[in-house]
Structure 1
Amino acid sequence: MKAKYIFLFFLIFSLLGCRKIEIVNDRPDEKLNKLRSEYIEQLSSAKNGWIGYLFPQGGRGFTFKFEFNNKNRVVSYSATDERKSLRPMESSYRIAADQVLSLYFDTYSYLHILADPNDFVNGGFRGAGLISDFEFAILEFKKDTIKLKGNHNSSDLILVRANENQGKEYIHQAYELNKSLDKLNLFPNYFNKFNFENQDIQFAINNISNTISFYYDENGFKQFTTEYAVTNSGILLRKPFLFKGKTILELFDFKLDPIQVKGTFKINKDQIVEIINSSKPVIVDKDAPRRMYINRYNYSTYYGFYVNGKSDGLQMQRLPDYTGTFFIPRRYLDPLDALYFTFKKGAAFVGPLFNSTYDLDGKIVFKEFMPVTGFDPGEENLNILHEFNKIWFDKNGFYIYQTGTNFYDMISTVDSRVWVRFN
């Protein structure tokens, strides 16, 4: 009898165990679809769109505006040049999951231009462009801020919900502000400095690469360089500049007057900083000539030498269909270096060959080997080249300051009104 009851107990237990029990739990794909819908709704519901700050892995910083709708279309503006700041480009986008939920800009857009492998499209590396992205993993998604990371090149993209004062004209205003920073280059001397926490800090803003550099003396030469993104009132630093316990994250409200050689800007909310244009550096980067020279890179400049606040002060752009100037260390085996002025839309070049030497005092000097090589630009232009060579082969040499990964400024050691920016 006891065995009978035991048998019945296990029979009932087994039957109960076979009953279907429905567990209410979202499946992973359902969760992803729910998040995807929420993200699309948030992107498309921003009536003023989103301001995008992009920092490619290859350096530089760029500002965009995106207007998303709920039909997988996005309208973009870019502060990279005037046309893109005024002319919207429409393309498609989607949010989908690969390993993580990602924002994909599907069809060609202003973002794709930066990643284009054709170096003639964006001035980047051949086969890699500016090492940027147009597909981004979503790292953080808040109501007013979205942080993303490029899936292929790890570029950083930050989207900030635009306010009512950041309408369709905002990106053009940002472009104009960045362009206005050219006025710093029109000051007579290269060296600009400001006093912060009772110490002089030399600085350089490279608005071609969108980088800013600070140089100062702290038991020897110190440098801090970071990319920046431009707004319609100033520049936002990708990384904050920390100095004596203080932080500089934004420079804004620039007032620059090259004619009067006066300038100010604001930091830390409303702290006004005066710009001092000087004929002498705060401190010399004694290692910069070596770094520039051993770097395997063809340096370029379109504007050439600034002379007393005037771009192309040596008039090399008078070459027919001038396209740019290139400094190529170790162009030939000896080693011989080259400086080429390209003209006829890049089909011809002319320039000197030389040897470069740098010393422990931070000076680089060029010794002439052959004053003219390449194509004949005509007698008048040859005279211009000879005038250029007088400055390039000055035995006193040049100081060098690095303004980015492959960006350097070169300044005459005897006349700070003569300088060139290589990007």
Structure 2
Amino acid sequence: MNKKLLYYILALSLVASCKREEDHVFDKSPDDRLNETLKTYQTAMTSSQYGWNGNLHTADGTLYRFYFSFNDSNRVQMLGDFDSTSGSLLAESSYRLKALQQPSLIFDTYSYLHQLSDPDGSVNGGPDGVGLKADFEFAIDSVSADSISLTGRFNGSRLTMKKATQADRAIWTSKQVGNGVVNFKNYWKFLSYWKRLNYRNVDYELQFDSSVKKVTVSWGTGNQAQSATREYYFWANGVYFLDPIVNGSVSIPGFSITGFTNDVLAANQLMNVTVNGTPSTIKGAAGSNVVPINPDVKNAVVRWRSQAQSTGNYWISFNGFHKNGVEDAFDINSLRNDSALFYYLLYSPNSRGSDGFLNIYLDTASNPPGLIAINGSWAKRISDNAGLTTITEDSVYSEFPWPASGPAADTRNQLFSGTGRYYFVQSSAISYDMVSKDDPTTWITWWWIW
């Protein structure tokens, strides 16, 4: 018993000595040290004379550009490139620094950041209940003399802030970012699917995916053609790339838009831009002789087919063909059959035999509502090494005949029109555009919903 008591006393003395030694490691309490850290961070945030440029990557990787100016009264002024309003109207809200699991920056009243995060899809165009997977509460990862790195506490979005220059602030406050958003809307007025930037007598084919703010730029010819994909943001009255496009000694950071001519009757559609201060143009490439520059066109149709074949699923289109600037050009969404309404077109690439092409309706009177095929054909498909695919009608489903006229007949005729030649372009992670070789103002978008 005495030995046990002796060991117990010895253990207590060792613990006490360790405690006294640890007490000398820091001369302040953990709370004091944390408060000092938060104060240091706030000083860093408020000390940038011209504010901060912020690059926000949402949880799905989409880039949004922001401007922040913090003051010592826990107020922040903000601009963004989300839309024309956020790019033009300087909005003020509040922020605070708080110790959670680690020092954190919280934007605690509604701001442009909250707009991206809003679960109401009508606010930002994202899915209801999800929004655009952004954040307004961030854990602070690192702070240096000219940059701050943060991670969203809910969605894990990444925010990097870098000190803005006087010229940066001038671009923001003179509404040039908002102008870029507005100017770029004219880009979508080009009738031809193929849009090309001509800079220093070289054509660069542009393919924008606005759903994730990425652009694929292609240049060169034949086996020398190449492409690069970049994130883009709105800046200085136009569109700029997070990393420049490099073609040998030529570097393209993006372009400022100076004007747009939209004389459709005279077949004169022209966007005037400047690249590195040099006047340049963007035009639509029209006519049946147009050949895509993007080398991926040679492989896209193979992926499109194999994705459906390997899963046993199919591709669908909700609006049918886009033609001469008109979405749902044949008004296929107007189709009705008693209580059944048009729902989508279906294309099923088969590994053996003919492909299936069907016109699918939704019967709203049945309980539950059911899908029914109204019209359909078997289709033959031949692709060459350049990615050009020819689709011809093999036969009509005897139980699902096509009408002689109207939106369904027009859609069928367009699919198999002339030589039925199309190029396939992957337009997003879940969609492909099938573009008419004979008339580049005509295309259909196929979606993957599985």
TM-score (norm 2): 0.65
Cα separation, 2, equivalents of 1:44 and 1:348: 59
Offset, 1:53: 3.3
1:233 aligns with 2:256: no
Instruction: Read off the aligned partner of 2:205 and give its amino acid letter.
Output: Q
- Match in the other structure for 2:256: 252
Cα pair 1:59 1:130 within 8 Å, conserved: no
SS of aligned partner of 1:163: helix
Instruction: Read off the aligned partner of 1:383 and give its amino acid letter.
Output: G
1:396 aligns with 2:396: no
Query: Aligned pair in 2 of structure 1 residues 290, 159: CA closer, same or farther (>3 Å)?
Result: same
Moved more, 239-248 or 126-135: 126-135
Task: Map 1:100-119 onto structure 2 (within 5 A).
Answer: 100-106=102-108, 109-115=111-117
1:166 aligns with 2:166: no
Cα pair 1:304 1:311 within 8 Å, conserved: no
Show CA shifts across 1:173-204 (max 9, x none): 53442243232333343222245677543122
- Match in the other structure for 2:7: none
Instruction: Read off the aligned partner of 2:273 and give its amino acid letter.
Output: F
- Match in the other structure for 2:323: 307
Query: Aligned pair in 2 of structure 1 residues 164, 241: CA closer, same or farther (>3 Å)?
Result: closer
Cα pair 1:184 1:258 within 8 Å, conserved: no
1:182 aligns with 2:205: no
Offset, 1:224: 1.6
Offset, 1:274: 3.2
SS of aligned partner of 2:274: strand
- Match in the other structure for 1:383: 406
Cα separation, 2, equivalents of 1:276 and 1:37: 53
Query: Aligned pair in 2 of structure 1 residues 318, 409: CA closer, same or farther (>3 Å)?
Result: closer
Percent identity, please: 24
Cα separation, 2, equivalents of 1:326 and 1:137: 44
Cα pair 1:150 1:156 within 8 Å, conserved: yes
Query: Aligned pair in 2 of structure 1 residues 77, 163: CA closer, same or farther (>3 Å)?
Result: closer
Instruction: Read off the aligned partner of 1:271 and give its amino acid letter.
Output: T
Cα separation, 2, equivalents of 1:137 and 1:298: 43
Cα pair 1:355 1:366 within 8 Å, conserved: no
SS of aligned partner of 2:281: strand
Cα pair 1:182 1:207 within 8 Å, conserved: no
- Match in the other structure for 2:429: 405
Task: Map 1:130-145 onto structure 2 (within 5 A).
Answer: 130-141=132-143, 145=147
Of 33, 36, 42, which aligns to 1:34?
A: 36
Cα separation, 2, equivalents of 1:120 and 1:351: 33
Offset, 1:76: 5.2
Moved more, 222-231 or 311-320: 311-320
Offset, 1:415: 1.0
Query: Aligned pair in 2 of structure 1 residues 166, 29: CA closer, same or farther (>3 Å)?
Result: same
Structure 2: gaps of 5 or more residues: 1-19, 336-341
1:265 aligns with 2:290: no
Query: Aligned pair in 2 of structure 1 residues 96, 340: CA closer, same or farther (>3 Å)?
Result: farther
- Match in the other structure for 2:216: 213
Show CA shifts across 1:375-412 (max 9, x none): xxxx9xx8234323322343524212234433544321
Cα pair 2:320 2:411 within 8 Å, conserved: no
Cα separation, 1, equivalents of 2:111 and 2:382: 44
Cα separation, 2, equivalents of 1:207 and 1:19: 60
Cα separation, 1, equivalents of 2:36 and 2:382: 62
Query: Aligned pair in 2 of structure 1 residues 197, 77: CA closer, same or farther (>3 Å)?
Result: closer
Cα separation, 1, equivalents of 2:412 and 2:42: 59
Cα separation, 2, equivalents of 1:338 and 1:132: 39
Cα separation, 2, equivalents of 1:45 and 1:195: 42
Offset, 1:131: 4.0
Show CA shifts across 1:257-276 (max 9, x none): 23233333233x32333334
Cα pair 1:256 1:263 within 8 Å, conserved: yes
Offset, 1:228: 1.0
Cα separation, 2, equivalents of 1:163 and 1:128: 32
- Match in the other structure for 1:62: 64
Query: Aligned pair in 2 of structure 1 residues 307, 239: CA closer, same or farther (>3 Å)?
Result: same
SS of aligned partner of 1:111: helix
Query: Aligned pair in 2 of structure 1 residues 87, 175: CA closer, same or farther (>3 Å)?
Result: closer
Instruction: Read off the aligned partner of 2:425 and give its amino acid letter.
Output: Y
Cα pair 1:179 1:207 within 8 Å, conserved: no
Query: Aligned pair in 2 of structure 1 residues 54, 180: CA closer, same or farther (>3 Å)?
Result: same
Cα separation, 1, equivalents of 2:201 and 2:141: 40
Instruction: Read off the aligned partner of 1:39 and give its amino acid letter.
Output: Y
Query: Aligned pair in 2 of structure 1 residues 63, 180: CA closer, same or farther (>3 Å)?
Result: same
Query: Aligned pair in 2 of structure 1 residues 163, 175: CA closer, same or farther (>3 Å)?
Result: closer
